[in-house]
Amino acid sequence: MADAATPVVIEASALDQLISILKSKGFEVLGPVRRDGAIIHDHVESSADLPRGWVDAQSGGRYRLHQEGDAYFGYTVGPSSWKRLLHPPEQPLWRCGTRDGEIRIDAAPVDETRHALLGVRPCELAAIAMQDKVFLDGPYRDPHYAARREGLFIVAVNCSRSAETCFCTSMGTGPKARECYDITLTEFSDGRFLANAGSTEGTEILGALSGRPADAADVDAAEAATDAAARQITRRLETRGLPEILKTSPEHPRWDEVAARCLGCANCTMVCPTCFCTDVEEINDLASGDSARVQRWASCFTADFTYLHGGGAVRESSRSRYRQWMTHKLATWHDQFGTSGCVGCGRCITWCPVGIDITEEAAAIRGSTEGG
């Protein structure tokens, strides 16, 4: 048993202890699982469900898993972000129908399940913090997001490995978690973990795991593991002065160039852990005559996103849609929420079917702007 403030070294077997303690406390535990050739998030019953020994190879438009080593958390990030849980692709809002001759509107109940997330990457913690600003800190709160978020218990896992598409070091979000977690783990190559608590509840749960207080060598080893992941990162996004450069370059020829490659498929916005746009749609039940309204993920890459009667789409061209997406992410997000809207997870690069690379596009606009 360790002192609350001291990091603890735990064996891999403590993962099962951790999962069962979380379950006994009423949490539904979600973590990484391997499915359909990708690491996604789903229910985990025990450490046997974790994708041990599987790592990913990612590049523009490409994602493949292969077996290598025996780390539980050797992969980086897959196509699903935790947005799928906290701000799901489809969220019922309300239902309306006639009951005893009266029209009634019933709000969709909020999800009060307490979820424990296992294996949240530092860049994903940053993404959750960004969506918190959108959904909780504005003049209006999203009650569904708030309910899921409030009950959350987060076990973060620092990165000991990075993918070719990662650029968290440019965005200041990784590869080591700094905030917004209950427990953080760093996996050592010998199968043990260094564990830190980041909240009272995290301290309590960590204290119940079998382990020993970490010594300076353990802490240094964990530091070395995340440093190694940071050193592996070759992709860079220079953020200095970028908001101004993008906002003052709406007519840059590079937008035409990227528009010629962009398919407007919206994949980047779906996999992005911070993109939050939604449509509100009406659903009719022909049998009961009830109608319901649901909120669904939307994308600024679609034609109807900006449709106005009389004028059609405000952003008609692919050029203007890509420009909107990237300028919002890297420039106007600062105006609206005080931070960048990009965490450097690289998903938009990997899952773009033509491999458009946000870091390359930003550099192209910066390069010719600065170069005169």
Partner 1 sequence: MSTVLAPNPQADPMVPVLARITRRIEEVPDVVTFEMEAPDWNGFAPGQFNMLGVFGVGEIPISISGPASEPDRLVHTIRAVGPVSRALAGLAEGAALGLRGPFGNEWPVETARGRDVVVIAGGLGLAPVRPVLYHLLENRNDFNKVILLYGARRPEEMLFTGELSAWRARFDIEVAVTVDHAAIGWHGHVGVVTSLLRNVGFDPASTSAFVCGPEIMMRFAARALVDAGVAPGEIWMSMERNMHCAIGLCGHCQLGPVFICRDGPIFDWARLKPLMMQEEL
Residues of this chain that bind partner 1 (CB under 8 A) = 93-94, 96, 103, 105, 107, 134-135, 138-143, 247, 250, 276-282, 284, 291, 293, 295, 298, 300, 304-311, 314-317, 319-320, 324, 328, 332, 335-336
Closest CA relative to residue 290, chosen from 94, 92, 97, 93 = 97
Dihedral angle over CA of 127, 133, 136, 140, nearest 10? -130
Smallest separation, CB 173 to partner 1 (Å): 22
Starting at the earlier edge strand, list the strands of the sheet with 8-10: 38-43, 28-35, 115-120, 153-157, 183-187, 193-197, 8-10, 211-213
DSSP bridge partners of 94: 107, 293
Burial of 107: CB neighbours in 10 Å, binned 0-12, 13-18, 19+: exposed
Comparing CB distances to partner 1, the nearer of 169 and 295 is 295
Smallest separation, CB 263 to partner 1 (Å): 18
Smallest separation, CB 250 to partner 1 (Å): 5
Comparing CB distances to partner 1, the nearer of 302 and 359 is 302
Comparing CB distances to partner 1, the nearer of 43 and 141 is 141
Comparing CB distances to partner 1, the nearer of 57 and 300 is 300
Burial of 181: CB neighbours in 10 Å, binned 0-12, 13-18, 19+: buried
How far, in Å, CA of 145 to CA of 136, rounded?
A: 8
Smallest separation, CB 318 to partner 1 (Å): 10
Instruction: Name the maximum alpha-carbon separation found in the chain.
Output: 73
Comparing CB distances to partner 1, the nearer of 143 and 151 is 143
Smallest separation, CB 317 to partner 1 (Å): 6
Smallest separation, CB 341 to partner 1 (Å): 11
Comparing CB distances to partner 1, the nearer of 62 and 296 is 296
Q: How many residues does the chain have?
A: 372
